[in-house]
Amino acid sequence: MAPAGSADPGRTARLAIAAVIAAVLLVGVSIAIGRFTSPTVADPATTSAEAGFARDMQVHHLQAVEMSMMIRDLTDDPDVRLLAYDIATSQANQAGQMFGWLSEWGLSQASSEPSMTWMTRPPLGADGHLDHSADPAHEPGAPMPGLATQEQLVALSQLSGVEAEIEFLRLMIAHHEGGVLMAEAVLERTDRRSVVDLASSIVTAQASEIELMESMLAEREADL
């Protein structure tokens, strides 16, 4: 028995453990209450702008990854190789996020509609309702903005050195411009936080990379 007035280490430890358990339970109850009282947001439908964007932007991003891996084999320029690495890793990660959205929403990775159909959906107006008077932003089934053709990819693969760098930069600038256009289009058509956050980051990052690539391209074209 501990002397009167002295601390009981065992009792102190038990009180500390009890306090931690109580705090954990309080947090758990708070989270549970939040889940039960917060409004439920329905998952996007398979024909929604969010689902269409997730499918088409995956395709768009994965071509950027493909081109980035190609140029890393065609040049030893450290600046171009670093740019290509950054593009490949960031866009592969974002494509994975969009794949995950569709899985979470219980939707197929493939669409029953032609690609880019989601860009014909009306945007949200200033009042938060669909603006059916707006013109479609793209033609369903038409090539995605900025997407390189197979012929362009084959031509790139046959170049090397500065010539490959110039062609890569030209293709990737156009590719990024198309990606920004698609991201801005979905921002006009959704208020879903996860989609808004990713699309906004795509606009910001790719606009910055376009400026960088334009500078790199001008330097290389001036040296020819």
Q: What letters, b where the CB count within 10 A reaches 16 and e where it falls short, cover 79-102?
A: ebbebbeebbebbeebbebbeebb
**CA angle, 89 as apex, 64 and 158 as ends, to 5°?**
40
| Between residues 61 and 23, the one the model is more confident about | 61
- How many Cα atoms sit within 13 Å of 116 on the Cβ side? 17
Structure confidence at residue 31 (pLDDT): 42
What local confidence, expressed as pLDDT, does residue 18 receive?
A: 47
Q: What's the rounded mean pLDDT across residues 69-73?
A: 97
Percentage of the chain beyond pLDDT 90 is 70
Instruction: With a cut of 80, say whether residue 138 has pLDDT above it.
Output: no
Q: Find the mean pLDDT for residues 68-76.
A: 97
Q: Bigger pLDDT: 27 or 189?
A: 189
Residue 47 has a pLDDT of 95
* CB burial of residue 151 (10 Å; 0-12, 13-18, 19+): exposed
If you average pLDDT over residues 25-46, what whole number do you get? 60
| 144-184 pLDDT, tens digit each | 999 999 999 999 999 999 999 999 999 999 999 999 999 99
pLDDT at 6: 43
Q: What is the pLDDT of residue 1?
A: 46
pLDDT computed for residue 170 by the predictor: 98
For all residues of the chain together, what is the average pLDDT? 86
CA gap 97, 130 in Å, rounded: 26
Confidence of residue 129 (pLDDT cuts 50, 70, 90): low
